[in-house]
Structure 1
Amino acid sequence: MATVVRPRPLSPHLSIWKWRVHMLVSILHRATGSALAFGAVVLFLWWLVAAATGAEAYNIFYGVATGWFGILVGVGLTLVMFQHMMSGIRHLIMDTGAGLEVLASKRLATLTMVASVSLTALTWAVILLTKGV
């Protein structure tokens, strides 16, 4: 008696799916959470070690943190924080049962991107204009 071997079904691969904004926001939510955790730990540890080491080490930290590279990192972490927060708010809305339709999901996902960029620009405009950097 011969057994018929049927090919097993394959899982859909990324090449089959079309990229949509709600897919991007979902992936970004995970990535931004990791980036926030890693970035916060690295910056906090550098600040703590610099403060504990002495004035010279702290001045180096302060110089980098307030220089162009520090501002660039600050803008990046601010954007990551707002993206993660807006995506979390989107998930809270979806947990209530609202925004689960495809069109509503796309709109909410697009809104998270627009809001995070807008809030980052507003935050850094206030920081840079009030500090005179």
Structure 2
Amino acid sequence: MSQSPATQAPIRRERPLSPHLTVYRWPITMTVSIVHRITGGALYVGTLLVAWWLLAAATSEQQFSFIDGIVGSWFGRLVLFGYTWAIFQHLLGGVRHLIWDTGAGLEKHTASRLAWLTVIASVVLTLALWALYFFVGSAT
């Protein structure tokens, strides 16, 4: 005997899964927002290192020589380079949010352009500051 359509079990369809992070293309505004939060946390750590360096300078020549050796190493300079970029990125991200607080730049296209401008300007300002540092340092 065959079952009537009313008594048949409903056909179960698999529900689509949400796209995974490796498949989903992050919008630049979301990426810059996440980076803004990360740089904010990194600035805490970097500022503690700068405070340690200043305290060592105020404490003794031996303490200062130790931390200055770390800061002057290739790894220390790499950390300082990252710290410099984090400062500029976080600052420009804050300016971007300040612009949004005025009600300007909230359109999708404009918000994306502001996000790209934030990224590009932070890299350019970091490279310019470090180029100036090496130019002035080599002149003395």
TM range (shorter): 0.7 to 0.9
TM-score, reference length from structure 2:
0.77
The 5 Å alignment of 1:39-118 reads 39-49=46-56, 51-52=58-59, 54-118=60-124
| Alpha-carbon displacement from aligned partner over 1:80-101 (angstroms, at most 9, x marks no partner) | 0000011011001111111111
**Is residue 31 of structure 1 aligned with residue 38 of structure 2?**
yes
Q: 1:22 aligns to what SS in structure 2?
A: helix
The 8 Å contact of residues 22 and 105 in structure 1, kept in 2 or not, is answered as yes
TM-score, reference length from structure 1:
0.80
| Alpha-carbon displacement from aligned partner over 1:67-120 (angstroms, at most 9, x marks no partner) | 322221111100000000110110011111111111111000000000000000
Aligned length, in residue pairs? 121
**Structure 1: gaps spanning 5 or more residues:** 1-11
**Structure 2: gaps spanning 5 or more residues:** 1-17
> 1:57 Cα deviation (Å)?
2.3
The 8 Å contact of residues 89 and 119 in structure 2, kept in 1 or not, is answered as yes
Q: Aligned equivalents of 2:20 and 2:136: distance in 1?
A: 46
Q: Which letter maps to 1:121? A: L
